[in-house]
Structure 1
Amino acid sequence: MCVLFEILDSPWSPIINISGGDLKENQSVTVTCSAFTPCPHSPPELTWNLQQDSLRQTEKNTNGTFTTKIQENITLSDTHDGYNIRCSARYPVIGGNKTAETEVTLSVSYAPKDTSASISPSGLVSAGSWVELSCSSRAKPPPSFTWFWNSQHGDMNVSMGKVYKFNPAEEETFHCVATNDLGQQKSPVILVAIKDNRSSEFQILNILKILGIVLLCSSIIIFESWFRFSKKPKKEPEETIYVNTVMEAKA
């Protein structure tokens, strides 16, 4: 019967294995964490950040040694990309326990997600001015982008690449498609709205008319005031009457 033993240096680190080779979304894989077990009657305690109720078992190897392991089956998605799987093995030793941990980062490929299109400048644009459409998507490996014009005769390919620049002549709608080896995704339709320049010109003309009327009225009022002032009779200057008092001296 096996007894508790003493590990002089650091304990054996567990090993994490993932079946399936290159990892892709929607792929079912088996994740295994295993640890060397020198004493099968006192195996190391394995824990990880996957399901804690994973089945634990100790197996005898062909060379007579023993291995303790836990396993979990998972179906991969894009959320598993970059996920860290941590597994620790706690060994019973004389006087307590010693623990070693191993960490593996998943690299999962997935088809385009969250594909969207944006326009610059936003809002209404003038006919003939430059417009820039941008496409974005989350994918691994990085996707390629294709732009489509939604014409009356169906979708027409108008450009390749993340950005599409052009001079719109009328109101039109577009969408982009992100594509990689695992699939593709279409963005929502984006509208290029054209500013109604005739309405702006009409407003400017109305403003000019109003300013003209105000200016004309002001001129008439000023002229009338001046005319009335100029026709007003002027007062004759008062003559200074000198009264000479002659004092006759009586002889």
Structure 2
Amino acid sequence: MRRPRPFSLAAEAIQTDPLEKPGFSCLPIHKALKLLTSFGTSIEKQKQEPHRFEALASASNLPTTRSYSTDLQVMVYPDTVTEGQSVRLTCSTTCTLTGSPAFIWYRDGSPLSFTGRSHQFRASSEDRSHYSCAVKGYELQSPAVALNVRYAPKNTSVSVSPSGEIVEGSSVTLTCSSDANPPVQNYTWFKKNDTGVWQAGSGWSLNFSNFRFWNRGQYYCEARNKHGGQNSTAVSINTEVGDRTVLVWTVVGITVAVALVAAVAYVRAEPSGSDKRSQRHKLCASES
């Protein structure tokens, strides 16, 4: 038995089976869909039972298909841009468009607000997505096409583990995160306090295996790729002094206090220069 010839929604089908709806005369599948609807069969059902659909279409002298493309294609020009540059999306087709049909645009599957065949805009980082289009009134979408938007680091931030005040002597890790395309190439860490700012390290994280009280301060990171850089907000790291440290500094404090008291007592007990001369004069007078 000769198998029915598969058909696509290409331009050559226009001459034999134009679309019954105005605006998009390139969908011979329209009659087939009407037939399926009369049998209570959806497109998804047809995909699950293609042989049943082919039998129905063949019995009604309709072309058959296992392809559900509307012959639509998204053209992205250019397909790779830097943030702020202009990009144009066009819904292209080999079908004949009559009148002013409305288009539906999708970004990662979600519909967009514009309805024209072509759309031009300045790209932002949020526009880095996959786009597809359809003719309004038909559920068939074009294949999705990617738009690649390059941009400098954004939303750069620092996280601290563990959070809160740090116990002196414990391990502390600071991590820098950022959104960038291409990914961040260099991370640089800075520490600042009342005396100034200086570089504290480099790399995605900054690690302290034995955090000391002199490590306290404000830290921030800089994330950079070839399109620019961004600094995070500074985070303050304070320490809780441990018991051992308290004991050590208590002993040091007591020792210093005792030394000061002894020094003051010694200075007060030591006679002045005039007293020493008076004592020597009295000693000489008694000997004579």
Are residues 126 and 36 of structure 1, via their aligned partners in 2, closer, same or farther at CA, if it must alter by over 3 Å?
Answer: same
Query: Matches of 1:191 and 1:106 in 2, distance apart?
Result: 39
Query: Matches of 1:27 and 1:100 in 2, distance apart?
Result: 27
1:48 aligns with 2:94: no
| TM-fit CA distance, 1:127 | 3.4
1:131·1:168 contact (CA, 8 Å) conserved in 2? no
Letter in 2 for 1:86: S
Query: Matches of 1:195 and 1:46 in 2, distance apart?
Result: 63
Matches within 5 A, 1:139-154: 139-143=180-184, 144-154=186-196
Cα deviation 1:66-120 (Å, max 9, x = unaligned):
xxxx111122112122x332212489xxxxx895633223332222121111222
**Identical amino acids, percent of aligned pairs:** 27
| Unaligned 5+ runs, structure 1 | 55-69, 92-96, 206-251
Which of 45-54 and 109-118 deviates more? 45-54
Are residues 153 and 15 of structure 1, via their aligned partners in 2, closer, same or farther at CA, if it must alter by over 3 Å?
Answer: same
TM-score, normalization by structure 2:
0.52
**Higher relative strand content:** 1
Are residues 186 and 100 of structure 1, via their aligned partners in 2, closer, same or farther at CA, if it must alter by over 3 Å?
Answer: closer
Are residues 75 and 127 of structure 1, via their aligned partners in 2, closer, same or farther at CA, if it must alter by over 3 Å?
Answer: same
Task: Choose from 117, 120, 123 the match for 1:76.
Answer: 123
Are residues 142 and 168 of structure 1, via their aligned partners in 2, closer, same or farther at CA, if it must alter by over 3 Å?
Answer: farther
Three-state SS of the structure 1 residue aligned to 2:179 is: strand
The alignment yields a C-alpha RMSD, in angstroms, of 3.4
Task: Choose from 150, 156, 166 the match for 1:109.
Answer: 150
2:73·2:142 contact (CA, 8 Å) conserved in 1? no
1:125 aligns with 2:166: yes
Matches within 5 A, 1:120-199: 120-143=161-184, 144-166=186-208, 167-170=211-214, 171-197=216-242
Choose between structure 1 and 2 for higher RCO, CA contacts under 8 A separated by at least 6 residues: 1
TM-score, normalization by structure 1:
0.59
| TM-fit CA distance, 1:179 | 1.0
Are residues 99 and 90 of structure 1, via their aligned partners in 2, closer, same or farther at CA, if it must alter by over 3 Å?
Answer: farther
Equivalent in the alignment of 1:87: 133
1:24 aligns with 2:82: yes
Query: Matches of 2:181 and 2:80 in 1, distance apart?
Result: 12
| TM-fit CA distance, 1:24 | 2.5
Letter in 2 for 1:140: N
Cα deviation 1:51-78 (Å, max 9, x = unaligned):
4442xxxxxxxxxxxxxxx111122112
Larger-gyration structure (1/2): 1
Query: Matches of 1:119 and 1:185 in 2, distance apart?
Result: 19
Query: Matches of 2:90 and 2:126 in 1, distance apart?
Result: 20
